[in-house]
Amino acid sequence: MDKSLRDRASRVVPGGMYGHMRASGLPDGYPQFFARGEGCHIWDVDGRKYLDFMCSWGPIVLGHHHPVVDAAARRQMEQGDVLNGPSERMVELAERVVGLVTHADWALFSKNGTDATTTCVTLARGATGKRKVLLAKGAYHGAVPWCSPHPYGVMSEDRAHILYFDYNDVASLEAAVTQAGGDLAAIVVSAFKHDYGQHQELPDLAFAQRARALCDANDAALILDDVRAGFRLTLHGSWDQIGVQPDLSAWSKAIANGYALSAVMGNNRFRDAAAALFATGSFWCGAVAMAASLATLDVLEAENGPEHMRAMGQRLRDGIAEQARRYNLGVRQSGPVQMPTILFEDDADYARGNRFTQETLKRGVYMHPKHNMFLSVAHTAADIDHALSVTDDAFKIVAGL
């Protein structure tokens, strides 16, 4: 079925599939097409079941097909979704996130993470009347010309006022600020360094504080790209954990457990600017995704979702570390335990990582060889232990290579 769908797709979809969900970026054996999800399990179109450690690349934070979220969405569907204006759900959701997220005094909603990051940057330029935007080299902030990791169709003008620094490197950040001169509009930081195919890094406190101070000193906006990590590590904004508050933040992924939604949040300093900006989209006020988001946040809070994911992520990390030691394999785990990245040492071509995940996949555990993975609230200790029994087999095979 996967094969016949790939054949059909090759005729009517560019390259057979586009973007980050192309199976061509994965080792042989990975399915391209999926049929179903339930809790922490997914099924491909050939009926094979997997314990899922990608969670749809982030959106699924409570588990697939979550009964409370889906019931809220179905109730809202009976009323109305996209109408001639927003619904009461928009106000409730804005109030809810302003109550949860420490730095937020207001919120606006859109559909893609890229909508949110683009709005933040445009807002910072409008508010400050300045142009330079500093990004960390290799950081992913979306797939449009100002930030896409792939330069196809991108012109030099699209990045004329983008400057780069190294995440967690104060000296490089200061150098970029100096380069911006009097024209600094914003510094954009990810919740942590989660570059593709690389070891992840948590934000260094001195770096985060310096970014905040440089924005203050230069009347620029500190923008936190919390699209990937937001509401998974904490409900209060990912840098709240280290006590550094951004001016603007971009959210998506986990905000509504898979319903299409993103958000920009900001403090009062940028409230008038946000009102002045023309940001809009046909479906941005859709009430179903907002009802789903309200339910998602309720469940995350009631069940202390971030802490559950932390505990499950730690259990996975400890187990993997023990196995790697036992098989004498150089394995480095990085990033927050709720969003694990597992890379082999001295594996520049990812040969061992690919083999490892191919072997877990064969045994029904869907892991990614290069990208950070995601835990959900649906993962139980028994699921983690089952995954570890599978990774043990996979390590054994890799060690025997």
- Residue list 95-114, contact with its own copies (CB under 8 A): 95, 98, 105-108, 110-114
**Residues numbered 146-205 forming contacts with its own copies, rule: CB under 8 A:** 148-150, 152-155, 157-158, 160-161
37 binds its own copies (CB under 8 A): yes
By CB under 8 A, name the one of 40, 66, 72, 87 that touches its own copies: 87
Toward its own copies, which CB reaches closer, 154 or 351? 154
| CA–CA gap between residue 69 and residue 318 (Å, rounded) | 31
| CA–CA gap between residue 291 and residue 286 (Å, rounded) | 9
**Residues numbered 345-384 forming contacts with its own copies, rule: CB under 8 A:** 366
Token pair listed for 23: 């199976």
What is the smallest separation between the CB atom of 71 and its own copies, expressed in angstroms?
A: 11
| CA–CA gap between residue 12 and residue 173 (Å, rounded) | 45
| CA–CA gap between residue 397 and residue 355 (Å, rounded) | 9
| CA–CA gap between residue 183 and residue 127 (Å, rounded) | 12
317 binds its own copies (CB under 8 A): no
238 binds its own copies (CB under 8 A): no
By CB under 8 A, name the one of 27, 40, 61, 64 that touches its own copies: 64
**Residues numbered 120-149 forming contacts with its own copies, rule: CB under 8 A:** 121-127, 131, 143-145, 148-149
How many residues lie near its own copies (CB under 8 A)?
A: 112
**Residues numbered 286-305 forming contacts with its own copies, rule: CB under 8 A:** 286, 289
- The single-letter DSSP state of residue 203 is P
By CB under 8 A, name the one of 63, 258, 340, 369 that touches its own copies: 258
Burial code of 46-64, b = ≥16 C-beta within 10 A, e = fewer?
eeeebbbbbbbebbbbbbb
Length of the chain: 401
86 binds its own copies (CB under 8 A): yes
**Residues numbered 259-288 forming contacts with its own copies, rule: CB under 8 A:** 259-260, 266, 271-286
The vertex-183 CA angle with 180 and 185, nearest 5°, equals 95
Toward its own copies, which CB reaches closer, 208 or 295? 295
| CA–CA gap between residue 70 and residue 256 (Å, rounded) | 10
Residue 134: Cβ within 10 Å count: 26
13 binds its own copies (CB under 8 A): yes
